Amino acid sequence: MLVSCLPSNPRVRTDIMESSTTPRPEKGELLHEGKAKKVFKTSDPELYIQEFKDAATAFDGTKKGTITGKGSVNCTVSSRLFKMLENWGVKTHFVDVLGENEMLIKAVEIIPIEVIVRNIAAGSLVRRYAFVESTKLEPPIIEFGLKDDDLHDPLMNDDHVLALGIATTAELAFLRRQANIINDALREFFSGIGIDLVDFKLEFGRLPGGDIILADEISPDTCRLWDKETGEKLDKDRFRFDLGNVESAYNEILKRTSTQA
């Protein structure tokens, strides 16, 4: 087990941030701003800039706050995981890291489906279905949610997706296959650094030609990550439930992923 030697209220460790190797296109108009990120057009119509924010929300935005350095951590961790997944044959929107909290990405149209993969019972799964928390799920459970803040991201099945015209049957099958491949890769990666991947959320987007690729981010914001030995939560649940040491948890993930990057 790696033991964090970070101070009690650490800021991001810029000494292990990845540097850019790609010429930076000119940042253009704001295309979209969500709870955790902003997306900008660029001078290249095939590329966007994704900017990660320190702002944090929970419980459908009813709880709001700031996690110092979160944007930088999530940008760096996401870039490392996207690179790893590319080696597993998963196509992603990642192009390069431009700075502490900016990522150059391929321009995609986000599919309004949240693909949720659950390896261990926790969170809303426990509340909805009375699973005992920490129950291992074999095979993993894959859920679809409608990406719509106004409707509180409701769960939906294949029939809902088809009726809404969001994706085809073939595309849903592709999303499930990709989710399983990504889960296998991430579980192996995190296990190697002493972490259980409890569950996580994925988003996908369509390229102009129609191909579907992995988008958004993979970070302590979108994953539940528990230390294998202690069960300590190293993710946004520390913010959700006022567990304290939020910045330390995010920086611990930053540090551990650097050993596998």
**For residue 15, pLDDT beyond 80:** no
Residue 3's pLDDT is what?
29
Average pLDDT over residues 134-148: 98
**How many whole angstroms separate alpha carbon 196 and alpha carbon 188?**
9
pLDDT tens, 21-57? 678 899 999 999 999 999 999 999 999 999 999 999 9
**What pTM did the predictor assign?**
0.91
**For residue 7, pLDDT beyond 80:** no
Residue 19's pLDDT is what?
57
**How many whole angstroms separate alpha carbon 149 and alpha carbon 128?**
19
Domain boundaries, the chain: 14-106, 109-244
**How many whole angstroms separate alpha carbon 27 and alpha carbon 30?**
9
Question: What's 14-106's CATH class?
Answer: alpha beta
pLDDT tens, 164-205? 999 999 999 999 999 999 999 999 999 999 999 999 999 999
**How many whole angstroms separate alpha carbon 51 and alpha carbon 38?**
5
Residue 169 tokens read as 């049957």
14 pLDDT band, cuts 50/70/90, is: very low
pLDDT tens, 196-243? 999 999 999 999 999 999 999 999 999 999 999 999 999 999 999 999
Give me the residues paired with residue 120 across strands. 136
- CATH number of this structure's domain 109-244: 3.30.470.20
- 109-244: same fold as 14-106? no
